[in-house]
Amino acid sequence: MSIRKLAAELRRDYKNVHTDVKELFHVGLIEETQEGRLCAPWDVIVSELPLLAKAKMTRRSD
């Protein structure tokens, strides 16, 4: 699928979709076919993101 067609199907601006596709290609989530088309050969992507919370201990003066 072309980026222009993807942008039309998603009803998003071409430039924004192009930027997103470029980044997804860079990190390996989108691949290029032998015909030069871009594709995402995944049915599901599972991502784990650690949630870190830094608790700042403050002392109150009474």
Nearest CA-CA partner of 39 in 47, 31, 27: 31
* pLDDT, position 19: 96
Range of the domain at 31: 3-39
| Within a domain: 54 | no
How far apart, in whole angstroms, are the C-alpha atoms of residue 58 and residue 10?
A: 47
- Report the distance separating Cα 62 and Cα 28, nearest Å: 55
Q: Is residue 35 part of a domain?
A: yes
- In whole angstroms, what is the distance from residue 1 CA to residue 7 CA? 10
Question: pLDDT by residue (tens digit) across 1-51?
Answer: 788 998 999 999 999 999 999 999 999 899 988 988 888 888 888 888 887
- 51 is a domain residue: no
Q: Cα separation of 49 and 61, whole Å?
A: 37
Say if 52 falls within a structural domain. no
Asked, for residue 20, whether it belongs to a domain, the answer is yes
50 is a domain residue: no
**17, part of any domain:** yes
Number of domains in the chain: 1
Tracing tokens 């015909």 back to the chain, one arrives at 35
